[in-house]
Amino acid sequence: MPAPTRDDLRRLHFVNALFAHVTGHDLYFARQIQAAIAFSLAEFEAQTSAHPEFAAKFDAAFNAAAAELLAKSFSHLPRHGFFHWDAALTLAAATPLFTRAEIMTGLKHLAPYRAATLLVTNLRPALVPPSRRATPRRKRDYEEALAFIRALAAARTSRTSELQLMFL
């Protein structure tokens, strides 16, 4: 078996963190989940190996498939809420006004649950696009967005609730 690439290891740790409630942080089980997700994207992965410029699109598809699988796994836990926000859905989605609206929608959805997970994906690519230069202003906007989401979630979540805030 060939040595895993850097991207494979990154995806493995990503899956291990996302599905810790299922894997118990066992990398063997996380590798099985990663392989299942990659298998569902096998045709796209073959295109990526033929055209390396598709790597960013494969990563986005992998993240979307993992988020969908995570949503399905949490749907079997009736006492655990789950909300996923993809910040790259529209061009304006990651602006402060829309970020606040989306996070508030998620927090309202999660309010009835004592334990919940709020998954935010593609915030960094939305604010610091990989095809463009990572200027100090873009990096600052990203850090401010992270801080804003954390502060908003802390302020709007009940003290008796357990909210897991995940950024991918």
Instruction: List per-block mean pLDDT (blocks of 10 residues) for the chain, which spans 168 residues.
Output: 75 81 81 83 71 69 80 76 85 80 93 90 85 89 93 93 88
pTM: predicted TM-score of the whole model, two decimal places:
0.72
Residue 29 sits at φ, ψ, to 5 deg, of: -70, -40
86 and 127 share one domain: yes
Same domain for 51 and 97, yes or no, is no
The answer on 106 and 72 residing in a single domain is no
Find, among 152, 95, 88, 92, the residue nearest to 120 by Cα.
Answer: 88
Q: Which domain holds residue 54?
A: 1-76
Are 108 and 147 in the same domain? yes
CA atoms of 107 and 88, how far apart (whole Å): 19
What are the structure tokens assigned to 163, written together? 């909210």
Q: Using CA atoms, how far apart are residues 129 and 122, in angstroms rounded to an integer?
A: 10
100 and 43 belong to one structural domain: no
